[in-house]
Structure 1
Amino acid sequence: MTPDATCVGADETVLEAAKEMTELGVGSLPVRGTDERLEGMLTDRDIVVKVLAAGKDPAKVKAGDLAQGEVVTVDADDEAEAILRTMSRHKVRRLPVIEDNALVGIVTQADVARTLPDPKVGDLLEAISS
């Protein structure tokens, strides 16, 4: 898990989020609402596909506009197997980690893969990628 995850506010622009991703060297940021609750994840792919390729202005599109749907998270004390099941079920490569209702980090596909025995790593990659 990567601790101390930085969030982007739902009211911040996608351009601001992209700059933050660049500074941090990450491909996604959790999106938090004005009530400080997690609204979703914003990925670099979201920015490219839903904003740039759609001809929208990243300086005008809000991060919250792209954080739609169910927020999928894992608990800080979840085992790798449980995280694997969640990633597989939702076909995601990154998950916010929650402890006591607060965001404490991000767990990635690579984080999980490093903790699993070799056969399980292949299962993870196949499940998420298919």
Structure 2
Amino acid sequence: MTTAADIMHRGAQWIPAHETLDRAAQLMRQLDVGALPISDENERLCGILTDRDIVVGCVAMGHDPAKVTAGDMAKGTPRWVAADADVDAVLDEMQGHQIRRLPVIENKRLVGMISEADLAKHLTEEQLAGWVESVYARS
């Protein structure tokens, strides 16, 4: 059985909720990623911040990314999957919530992220086509 841990990208890092968006953008550039999980003071997942969130939700609104925090951008219920979850559970979570990136948690700690690129490397063409259709479908 293929698990989330088998297909995830290891080495994912949190951005603390109190960090500013300019710092988040710097970390994204340093890590060459487009999204960061946001952690609360107890290193628990409280959201995901994307590069698009910074541009559309902050810069385009005329706000200063040096004053807006990652926590200010965290909205909704964060989605995640356990490291030992099978691929079907990963797909169900991503498809059911139309999300493109999914944090992987083990023992209440972030151990990786699953992105579109990870799925493309590990899914069959049929699985990938189903995922794309459901995640990118307009509601």
After TM superposition, the score normalised by the length of structure 1 is 0.96
Correspondent of 1:50 among 41, 54, 57: 57
Give me the identity figure in percent.
Answer: 45
Give the length in aligned residue pairs.
Answer: 130
1:68 aligns with 2:90: no
Correspondent of 1:101 among 100, 108, 112: 108
**Larger RCO (alpha carbons 8 Å, 6+ apart):** 2
Unaligned runs of 5+ in 1: none
Taking the TM superposition and a 5 Å limit, the aligned residue runs for 1:1-130 are 1-130=8-137
AA of the residue aligned to 1:81: D
- Structure 1: 4+ residue segments shifted above 6 A: none
AA of the residue aligned to 2:94: M
Equivalent residue of 2:77, what SS?
A: coil
Note if contact 2:14-2:39 (Cα within 8 Å) is conserved in structure 1.
yes
- Give, in angstroms, the shift of residue 47 of structure 1: 0.5
After TM superposition, the score normalised by the length of structure 2 is 0.90
Inter-partner Cα distance in structure 2 for 1:76 and 1:35: 20
Note if contact 1:83-1:112 (Cα within 8 Å) is conserved in structure 2.
no
Question: What is the RMSD computed on CA atoms of the aligned residues?
Answer: 1.0
